[in-house]
Amino acid sequence: MTRVVAQGTFDLLHPGHVHYLEDAAAYGDELHVIVARQTNVTHKPKPILRARQRRDMVAALDAVDEAHLGHPEDVFVPVERLDPDVIVLGYDQHHDEAGIAGALDERGIDCRVERATSREPRYDGEVLSSGDIVDRILRRRTADRDGDATDDRP
């Protein structure tokens, strides 16, 4: 059985997240997802939702066999415990494949590192970024306050 690990923040789930996890699941028989704790999110704004809620949302997706919270201090602790055959990084995640592979090798974790494919929007206005979702909410709330809300597209 091939065990796959994917990881990320998964704040405000969107179709890009679903694509990433379905793509990752295709690399093996069992997909485990590690959901970052807020303390480990240092490369972008802190998540809106708490880690447990994000984990529960990820666990509800069909492609996911199990979702786990990341370790609060050492991101490799759950990877060591899960002992994957493959780690699949999101296509736009800031991680360097060679750096991850080196860190895994140093810890004696024998698995390969892959990169998921990207997903383009399928229709005008489809949002594939949590940051873009937040920006859209802020624009709409500002427009609603100012009486300018006109976008009612599905």
User: Known binding site for ATP: residues?
Assistant: 9-10, 14-17, 92
Residue set of the binding site: 9-10, 14-17, 92
Q: What is the dihedral of CA 6, 93, 56, 4, to 10 degrees?
A: 0
Find all residues with CB under 8 Å of 104, minimum gap 6, and list them.
76, 79, 87, 110, 111, 113
Neighbours of 11 (CB within 10 A): 26
